Amino acid sequence: MSTASSKPEIATAYDRWAETYDVDPNRTRELAATVLRQRGLSLAGHDVVEIGCGTGRNTPWLAEHARSVLALDFSEGMLRQASARVRSPHVRFVQHDIRSTWPVAEASSDVVIAMLVLEHIEHLEPIFAEAARALRGGGELFLCELHPMRQLRGGQANFVNRETGEPERVTAFLHDVSEYVNAGLSFGYELVHLGEWRDDEALRSDLPRLLSVQFRRRAGAPSRSRSDC
């Protein structure tokens, strides 16, 4: 793995969660998968980078539609599940910490997908910078995260540790909606769609469960933040 020597605490938490991640009931994960499939992303004939692919719940669907999928995650346990699930010559799983330079050539990808991963990233800018570097002009960045209002109310990725029987919460960071949007704008992306998603049976007065943001990279936009220039 191309990261610092000690294994990040979030990666080890996901290693512990990996074997039960797919069987634990998880409405956030299910709704996110539905949202991804509804957004009409342009995948046909395109090269996709999926960051924080986890056990690969969305990877087969991406692979079915795209020309290639590079799926990155830093948890060995999650990637083991993903590799067992998806066997396709045009899908490549790579163990990688997405906070460091991605193993992707400049302007070589058409779509970057981030599902329920950015809540584990403290500083968004390096991620938006890497996506901007990886994307061709006109390429799209799609992210879908637990809604920050839910986080403020205490929502956080959690599971029961199989060995101890104790509940564990995985370290998460709060990003307001404006932080996601402004990070994208500062890297020269155009905002295509902002979504706030509730469960089917939720009331209008319930907090949205998920936030999604879809950006398009303008052709010729710099891959550095305007504030760095």
Ligand X SMILES: C[S@@+](CC[C@H](N)C(=O)[O-])C[C@H]1O[C@@H](n2cnc3c(N)ncnc32)[C@H](O)[C@@H]1O
Residues making contact with ligand X (CB under 6 A): 10-11, 14, 29, 32, 52-54, 57-58, 72-75, 78, 97-99, 115-117, 120-121, 157
Specify the residue, 74 or 215, whose C-beta has the smaller distance to ligand X.
74
Nearest distance from residue 95's CB to ligand X, in Å?
8
Query: Which residue's CB atom is positioned nearest to ligand X?
Result: 54
Specify the residue, 10 or 66, whose C-beta has the smaller distance to ligand X.
10
Specify the residue, 28 or 188, whose C-beta has the smaller distance to ligand X.
28
Query: Cβ contacts of residue 210 below 8 Å, gap of 6+?
Result: 28, 31, 32, 35, 144, 145, 146, 147, 195, 196, 197
Host H or E run for residue 86: none
Nearest distance from residue 65's CB to ligand X, in Å?
17
CA distance to 36, 58, 59, 86, 91, per residue, from 82 (Å): 18, 10, 8, 6, 11
Instruction: In whole angstroms, give the CA distance from residue 211 to residue 195.
Output: 6
Instruction: In whole angstroms, give the CA distance from residue 38 to residue 132.
Output: 24
Nearest distance from residue 22's CB to ligand X, in Å?
8
Copy the structure tokens of residue 29: 């994960």
**Alpha-helical runs (H) found in 48-199:** 59-65, 76-85, 125-134, 148-152, 177-186
CA distance to 29, 89, 164, per residue, from 22 (Å): 9, 23, 19
Nearest distance from residue 79's CB to ligand X, in Å?
8
Specify the residue, 42 or 100, whose C-beta has the smaller distance to ligand X.
100
Specify the residue, 121 or 132, whose C-beta has the smaller distance to ligand X.
121
Nearest distance from residue 224's CB to ligand X, in Å?
21
